[in-house]
């Protein structure tokens, strides 16, 4: 079962989107008018809080999940995204995405998500934070990846804006990538979501896993205070056991990017539990399905991006290692109180 994108109702259209569509003199309107989504030499943009964006970009740059010839899940000692250029946008203007939800400012984060997509599509950079005209060229993105699960709340708005200009936009969020991986793994039973408590409270997983296109049975927990990934996994299972539920978990999704690095190890721990005859593991065996799976957000994003580029034959096919260009998203110093984008390694603003 796969989750499709939901459209944004016209009545719920963000003022920013309305203004961008109607104001033909605005920078955003010009950007979207000129944007060519079918340029295979565009970049793969990774956008969001600095730590998660840096971690995800680094993984995408070096990951080797697929055979680059036949796309089978088999390492071939070549980077999966050989020839691609990643644009990493470190959002320092709105680094605490959870604060939007805590303050009841969901619409604010929706707008941030859309604005960042527009500027990822732009072909110009500002030389510094005081410039008013773009002075440096920048390559627009052909794929936009959000590194924060919170950004899920604005993905439908991104679709709405780009569609209004007749432009295709390829967008990936951790939550949607996870949902696609759940579908491709054939998971049909109850799913556990291992995520930060604020992520769980925000409803971003509910919006995708409980939508009109799919309805997965899931529970979410946020274990803390653990010193190892194995300890964290058992704390997660303990939290599930404490609810009194006896339905086995078919999969556990790891939303935390840092924990994604230990996904394979946690998978091995789960196999050890299921194959053990020790009494100490009896309660855990009872709540893990025989075909139990570990699905992590980072790997899911990489697989979804690779699938997207492969399906559309949209790789650059350059013979080179993946490259990265870094940008900082900063508050504007100008009178418009907007956002500007600074190229990290050359100190330019886009």
Residue-wise pLDDT tens digits, 297-317: 999 999 999 999 999 999 998
* pLDDT value of position 344: 47
Residue 334: what pLDDT? 55
CATH 2.30.30 fits 177-297, yes or no: no
Q: Are 350 and 125 in contact (CB under 8 A)?
A: yes
pLDDT digits (tens, 9 = 90+) for 65-105: 998 888 888 888 899 999 999 999 998 887 689 999 888 88
Q: Say what the pLDDT of residue 224 is.
A: 92
Q: How many CA atoms lie within 13 A of 350 on its CB side?
A: 31
Which residue's entry shows tokens 């299921």? 274
Q: What is the rounded CA–CA span in Å between residue 181 and residue 73?
A: 13
Q: What is the pLDDT of residue 1?
A: 36
* Stretch among 126-130, 263-267, 272-276, 302-306 having the lowest mean pLDDT: 126-130
Per-residue pLDDT, 10:
54
- Residue among 143, 111, 107, 115 at smallest CA distance from 28: 115
Is the pLDDT assigned to residue 196 strictly greater than 80?
Answer: yes
DSSP tag of 203: T
173, 209 Cβ separation under 8 angstroms: no
Distance CA(110)–CA(30), nearest Å, equals: 21
Residue 329's pLDDT band, with cuts at 50, 70 and 90, is confident
C-alpha distances in Å from residue 83, one per residue of 29, 72, 80, 322: 31, 19, 9, 5
Q: What is the pTM of this model?
A: 0.90
**Average pLDDT of span 123-135:** 64
Q: Regarding the domain delimited by 10-173+299-349, which CATH topology (the fold level of the hierarchy) does it fall under?
A: Rossmann fold (3.40.50)
Q: What is the pLDDT of residues 219-261, one digit of tens each?
A: 999 999 999 999 999 999 999 999 999 999 999 999 999 999 9
Name the percent of the chain lying above pLDDT 70: 87
> Two tokens at 239?
């939290």
pLDDT value of residue 101: 86
DSSP-based three-state secondary structure for 343: strand
Is residue 3 pLDDT above 80, yes or no?
Answer: no
Tokens at residue 74, please?
């088999």
212 vs 49 pLDDT, higher one = 49
Looking at residue 129, its pLDDT comes to: 54
pLDDT at 132: 60
List pLDDT tens digits, range 137-169: 789 999 999 999 999 999 999 999 999 999 999
Give residue 238's pLDDT.
97
Span(s) in the chain for CATH 3.40.50.1860:
10-173+299-349
Q: CB count, 10 Å around CB of 324?
A: 19
Judged against a pLDDT cut of 70, whether residue 179 lies above it is answered with: yes
- Give the CA count within 13 Å in the CB-facing half-sphere of 291: 7
Could you give the CA distance from residue 143 to residue 252 in angstroms, rounded to a whole number? 27
Instruction: Give the C-alpha distances (Å, rounded to integers) separating 343 from 137, 148, 281.
Output: 11, 20, 51
């Amino acid at each position: 079962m796969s989750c499709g994108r939901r459209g944004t109702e016209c009545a719920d259209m963000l003022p920013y989107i309305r203004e961008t569509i109607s104001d033909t003199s605005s920078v955003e309107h010009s950007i979207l008018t000129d944007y060519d989504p079918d340029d295979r030499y565009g970049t793969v943009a990774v956008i969001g809080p600095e730590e998660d964006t840096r971690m995800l970009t680094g993984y995408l740059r070096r990951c080797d999940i697929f055979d680059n010839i036949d796309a089978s899940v088999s390492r071939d000692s070549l980077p999966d995204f050989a020839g691609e250029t990643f644009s990493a946008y470190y959002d320092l203007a709105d680094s605490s995405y959870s604060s939007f939800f805590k303050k009841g400012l969901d619409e604010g984060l929706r707008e941030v998500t859309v604005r960042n997509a527009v500027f990822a599509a732009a072909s110009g950079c500002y030389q510094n934070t005081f410039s008013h005209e773009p002075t440096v060229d920048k390559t627009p993105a052909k794929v936009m990846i959000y590194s924060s699960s919170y950004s899920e709340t604005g993905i439908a708005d991104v679709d709405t804006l780009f569609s209004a200009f007749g432009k295709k936009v390829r967008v990936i969020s951790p939550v949607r990538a996870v949902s696609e991986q759940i579908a491709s793994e054939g998971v049909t039973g109850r799913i556990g979501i291992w995520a930060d408590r604020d992520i769980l409270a925000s409803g971003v997983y509910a919006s995708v896993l409980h939508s009109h296109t799919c309805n997965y049975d899931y529970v979410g927990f946020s274990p803390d205070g653990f010193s190892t990934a194995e300890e964290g996994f058992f704390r997660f299972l303990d939290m599930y056991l404490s609810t009194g539920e006896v339905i086995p978990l078919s999969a556990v999704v790891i939303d935390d990017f840092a924990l994604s690095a230990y996904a394979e190890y946690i998978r091995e721990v789960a196999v050890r539990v299921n194959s053990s005859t020790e009494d100490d593991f009896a309660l855990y065996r009872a709540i893990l399905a025989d075909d139990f799976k570990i699905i992590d957000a980072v790997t899911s994003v990489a697989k979804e991006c690779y699938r997207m580029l492969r399906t559309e034959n949209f790789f650059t096919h350059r013979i080179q290692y993946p490259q990265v260009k870094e940008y900082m998203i900063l508050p504007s110093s100008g009178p418009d109180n907007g956002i500007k984008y600074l190229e990290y390694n050359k100190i330019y603003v886009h």
